[in-house]
């Protein structure tokens, strides 16, 4: 059971509050002078079309923290032009999509989840023109661009909330959740979600600077859909929806995964699919991932990532859960090893404490299973968190492009906004590109076999079996069956698979040195798989 999303903002909160103190202002207090305005204009769907392949949504994706990926102008902060300059790297890695953590104008000045303007780009990252350029450059490489969208809450500095919090009679009051008296009996993630505002209390479970929208107000829902169309009309390929378990609250004991949340997401999915071609939507609903997948189209497979790591360490119970996961989970799940949130786990290399053999097995497992795999930026080179940091900032360090000799890991010509990864000297793109059999080359090879074999890219899931510290599973699509055998143990093991074409030949497609295997007269095959290794075969059907 993952810990709670509130941990995502714990340290960011402190940083943002410090920034606010420095600015001499806060969002919870009163305002003087004219109230701010913002864009509430209706946006009509106008699909520019998609030139991406029909199955780009199957990934893999890279999750990118733009602030931490590549700085282009020496201010120490990653930006959209920097990301554009790294698209060839991402194409060579083999990804077909990138998810950008929020790039909209934010109050927090860090993670971006405190959105100040839903229709503009964070100035530190660039402009709308830069976003358009990124989308065009990504599309030219067969890569789709998915933006983070935060529907549950805005920044307290968002003009809508500044208006709403100005007093009881403001026209935007009902865009947020206010109570004239302090409600009692509430506890969300261990805290009281009600905060003191002007002429009442407002609901903000994640942070007092991130007030929840009132998503029972249809005007607010319609405006969010207009915001989504604003980006879709620019050619953006979809969204990752933040905190969908928290959209609507019905009371102190009914504040999570409420029925309205699924309806809201289903309506958005219908709008997007009804008006735009070839888009991708994925939801973050950590406590109900399987339930959100059908409503959203895809949902992150929270929980599965822990089993992937434990399985790679040889935990037989976890191997069993990895084997059976897709027996019930839909193939539309989006899988991962880790992400930007501490509640999902440390950076993978920290979870494996440097054990790269185990790391490779975990990566291969989820890259070969069904689902849409997401690779957290730098995971493919084994980036650790920053030694000097803790919490979420530890996970969100600048990308390690080169060794630390220049002091910036190749991320910036200036001073990086945050400490570098602890292992930038050893695990960086430059050194791994120069080394055969690097972790990066392993990722590329596994992704390449996934993309080359239709059964691995889009096939169904069948015949999954765990035995001791081994796992085998099969994927099938029209005309092809793939067989994946993984030995997590430290000694060689005989792995069996059945239900195959009698007397057929399994053609080895991974590793490059692998040998073919003969299927017996009743459709069974047994292969001796070396310690801590992966073998992949295909057979025509």
246 binds Ca ion (CB under 5 A): yes
Rounded CA separation 283/301 (Å): 10
Q: How far is the CB of 127 from Ca ion (least distance, A)?
A: 12
Residue pair 200/179 in contact by the 8 Å Cβ criterion: yes
476 binds Ca ion (CB under 5 A): no
Kindly tell me which of 154 and 474 has the beta carbon lying closer to Ca ion.
154
* Tokens of residue 155, six digits: 């920044």
Query: For Ca ion, which stretch binds (CB under 5 A), given 139-147, 240-248, 343-351, 398-406?
Result: 240-248
148 binds Ca ion (CB under 5 A): no
Query: For Ca ion, which stretch binds (CB under 5 A), given 3-11, 239-247, 394-402, 507-515?
Result: 239-247
Among 77, 98, 138, 536, binds Ca ion (CB under 5 A): 77
- Run of H or E residues at 226: helix 218-232
Residue owning tokens 């991974």: 510
Kindly tell me which of 217 and 526 has the beta carbon lying closer to Ca ion.
217
Three-state DSSP at 462 gives strand
Kindly tell me which of 212 and 307 has the beta carbon lying closer to Ca ion.
212
Q: How far is the CB of 6 from Ca ion (least distance, A)?
A: 13
Query: For Ca ion, which stretch binds (CB under 5 A), given 34-42, 65-73, 285-293, 516-524?
Result: 65-73
260 binds Ca ion (CB under 5 A): no
* Tokens of residue 480, six digits: 């092809």
Query: For Ca ion, which stretch binds (CB under 5 A), given 40-48, 61-69, 74-82, 281-289?
Result: 74-82
Q: Binding mask 164-203 vs Ca ion (x if CB under 5 A, - otherwise)?
A: ----------------------------------------
Give the largest Cα separation in the chain, rounded: 84
**Would you say how long the chain is, in residues?**
541
Kindly tell me which of 233 and 343 has the beta carbon lying closer to Ca ion.
343
Q: How far is the CB of 71 from Ca ion (least distance, A)?
A: 4
79 binds Ca ion (CB under 5 A): yes
**β-strand 517-518 against 194-197: which pairing, if any?**
unpaired
Among 12, 106, 152, 369, binds Ca ion (CB under 5 A): 152
Q: Which residues of 280-296 are buried (b: 16+ CB within 10 A; e: fewer)?
A: bbbbbbbbbbebbbebb
71 binds Ca ion (CB under 5 A): yes
Total site size for Ca ion, rule CB under 5 A: 8
- Run of H or E residues at 146: strand 144-149
- Run of H or E residues at 464: strand 460-467
Three-state DSSP at 153 gives strand
Rounded CA separation 27/527 (Å): 63
Rounded CA separation 500/540 (Å): 10
110 binds Ca ion (CB under 5 A): no
Three-state DSSP at 104 gives strand
73 binds Ca ion (CB under 5 A): yes
Q: In 10 A of CB 515, how many CB atoms? A: 10
403 binds Ca ion (CB under 5 A): no
Kindly tell me which of 137 and 425 has the beta carbon lying closer to Ca ion.
137
Q: What residues between 197 and 236 interact with Ca ion by CB under 5 A?
A: 212
The HSE-up count of residue 356 (CA atoms within 13 Å, CB side) is: 15
Q: Which residues bind Ca ion (CB under 5 A)?
A: 71, 73, 75, 77, 79, 152, 212, 246
């Amino acid at each position: 059971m993952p810990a709670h999303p509130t941990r995502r903002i714990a340290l960011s909160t402190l940083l943002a509050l410090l920034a606010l103190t420095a600015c001499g202002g806060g969002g919870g207090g009163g305002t003087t002078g004219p109230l701010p305005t913002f864009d509430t204009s209706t946006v009509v769907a106008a699909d520019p079309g998609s030139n991406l392949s029909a199955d780009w949504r199957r990934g893999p994706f890279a999750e990118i923290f733009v602030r931490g990926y590549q700085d282009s102008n020496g201010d120490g902060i990653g930006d959209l032009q920097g990301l554009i300059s790294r698209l060839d790297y991402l194409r060579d890695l083999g990804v077909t999509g990138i998810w950008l953590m929020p790039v909209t104008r934010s109050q927090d000045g860090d993670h971006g989840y405190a959105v100040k303007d839903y229709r503009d780009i964070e100035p530190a990252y660039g402009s709308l023109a830069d976003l358009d350029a990124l989308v065009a450059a990504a599309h030219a490489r067969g890569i789709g661009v998915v933006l983070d969208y935060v529907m549950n809450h805005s920044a307290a500095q968002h003009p809508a909330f500044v208006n709403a919090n100005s007093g009881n009679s403001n026209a935007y009051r009902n865009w947020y959740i206010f109570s004239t008296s302090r409600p009692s009996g509430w506890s969300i993630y261990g805290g009281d979600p009600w905060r003191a505002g002007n002429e009442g209390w407002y609901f903000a479970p994640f942070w007092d600077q991130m007030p929840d929208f009132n998503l029972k107000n249809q005007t607010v829902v319609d405006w969010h859909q207009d915001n989504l169309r604003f980006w879709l009309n620019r050619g953006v390929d979809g969204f990752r929806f933040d905190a969908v378990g928290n959209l609507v609250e019905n009371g102190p004991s009914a504040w999570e995964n409420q029925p309205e949340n699924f309806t809201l997401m289903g309506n958005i999915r219908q709008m997007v699919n009804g008006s735009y071609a070839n888009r991708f939507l994925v939801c973050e609903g950590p406590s109900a991932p399987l339930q959100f997948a059908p409503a959203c189209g895809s949902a992150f497979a929270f929980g599965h990532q822990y089993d992937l790591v434990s399985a790679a360490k040889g935990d037989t119970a976890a191997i069993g859960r990895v084997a059976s996961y897709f027996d019930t989970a839909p193939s539309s799940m989006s899988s991962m090893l880790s992400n930007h949130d501490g509640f999902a786990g440390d950076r993978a290399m920290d979870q494996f404490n440097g054990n790269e053999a185990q790391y490779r097995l975990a990566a291969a497992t989820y890259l070969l299973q069904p689902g849409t795999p997401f690779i957290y930026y730098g995971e493919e080179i084994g980036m650790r968190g920053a030694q000097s940091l803790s919490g979420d900032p530890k996970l969100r360090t600048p990308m390690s492009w080169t060794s630390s000799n220049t002091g910036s890991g190749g991320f910036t010509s200036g001073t990086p906004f945050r400490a570098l990864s602890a292992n930038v000297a050893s695990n960086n793109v430059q050194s791994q590109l120069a080394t055969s059999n690097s972790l990066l080359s392993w990722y590329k090879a596994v992704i390449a076999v996934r993309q080359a074999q239709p059964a691995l890219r889009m096939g169904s899931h069948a015949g999954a079996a765990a035995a001791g510290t081994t796992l085998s599973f099969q994927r099938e699509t029209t005309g092809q069956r793939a067989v994946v055998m993984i030995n997590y143990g430290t000694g060689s093991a005989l792995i069996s698979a059945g239900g195959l074409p009698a007397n057929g030949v399994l053609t080895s497609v991974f590793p490059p040195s692998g040998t073919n295997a003969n299927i017996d007269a009743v459709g069974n095959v047994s292969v001796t798989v070396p310690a801590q290794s992966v073998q992949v075969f295909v057979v025509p059907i």
